[in-house]
Amino acid sequence: MQVRAENISKNYASMAALDDVSLTVQSGELVALLGPSGSGKTTLLRTIAGLETPDSGVVYFNDRDAAESRIQDRGVGFVFQHYALFKHMRVMDNIAFGLRARRKNKPKEADIKNKVMELLDLVQLSGLEKRFPSQLSGGQRQRVALARALAIEPSVLLLDEPFGALDARVRKDLRRWLREIHERTGHTTLFVTHDQEEALELADRVVVMSKGKIEQSATPDEIYDTPATPFVFSFIGESSVIPVVVGNGRATLDERLIDLQVGNLPDGPAQLFLRPEDVAMVTDGGPGIPGLVVSTRRIGGNRRVTMECGLARHRIEFDAPAEVPIANSQRLQVRIIGGRVYGAGEEGYETEKLAASATSDFKWAKAEGWLDR
């Protein structure tokens, strides 16, 4: 089933939780709503489920206005972050609850039992049907919650931070398992998360939200490789930002040319966003940007280096081979090999001030010989 939200707005007092949001989830698609707390992702999910009423806008299931149906008739399975299992019911009864609560087309008890056993096998909990929730681990409880949502054979599956209450190892295992479940069942699925790794690993498409608006909706690769806004770049993965100046189609840092395309950005202050893989240490004696090492730490087979560069001592991070000796306070040079330049705009207000301050100090730095180090 296709889910389409058109021009949804929702306000709480003076705060806009959703600001004219439109989103289409195609039939069988697995979509992640990703963003920080307060971005509106859960409000959008609950609005689609019918648990929130929008101030304006319409939610369609295929071409049917969802508001014309009662919540229980929308065909939505909802999985909450904290399971919401009935503590006094055994696993079997929790999963069967939605089927037994039906007023129309209620299955026979034998059919309900068969359905529950099929779902227990699907979520890999066969043999635990007689246990109470208190006798299960967190990961097992979440599987029961998903089985309960699937029992009613929903057209749409909605999950609100389904792994948020679990430890890192269990979360990783359940992410892989949920993707396998989706490929087997083919439900139209929309899930909320603030965990970027979770979204990039699980989803067919990631919708990044901020302040009640959609910043970008794209595949995981597109979100990471071609972020549409500074917010998306800084929210996805690890990143650094330094002020630069754009002129004649080129970007410079303290009058040092940075070999990056700047597109159609106007001349003036701008922002250079970098990931660790966009920065390389100069080892061939060639030109680079000088800086001072602030700290190093081991990350797998690499060493993550934090250094200060530029007149305002902006911090950037890059990875170097673990066997390369790098000490704190060591001076070295780096080369920018990637990244993205954005206009200053609203997000660049602090950048503009830093750029102006750096320009005023340029003569002093040159006299001190900083640029020659």
Place of tokens 């679990």: 166
pLDDT reported for residue 256:
84
Judge whether 90 and 120 are in contact, CB under 8 Å.
no
pLDDT in the model for residue 90: 93
User: What are the Cα distances from residue 358, in Å, to 93, 344, 354?
Assistant: 67, 16, 6
Whether the CB-CB separation of 251 and 272 falls below 8 Å is answered with yes
Q: Which domains does the chain have, with CATH numbers?
A: 3-227 (3.40.50.300), 238-372 (2.40.50.140)
Q: Which long-range contacts (CB under 8 A, 24 or more apart) does 345-349 make?
A: 345/230, 347/230, 347/231, 347/271, 348/230, 348/243, 348/269, 348/270, 348/271
Alpha-carbon Rg for the chain, nearest whole angstrom, is 26
pLDDT (0 to 100) of residue 204:
95
Nearest to 190 by CA among 331, 45, 333: 45
- Of 142, 134, 147, nearest in space to 82 by CA: 142
Low-confidence spans in the chain with pLDDT less than 70: 165-166, 345-373
Whole-angstrom CA distances from 234 to 239, 304, 347 are 6, 18, 11
CB atoms within 10 A of CB 73: 11
Beta bridge partners of 297: 304
Q: What b/e sequence results for 266-287 when a residue is b if at least 16 CB atoms lie within 10 Å of its CB, and e otherwise?
A: eeebbbbbbbbebbbbeeeeee
| pTM reported for the whole predicted model | 0.81
Taking every pair of Cα atoms in the chain, the longest distance, rounded to a whole number of angstroms, is 88
pLDDT of res. 110: 92
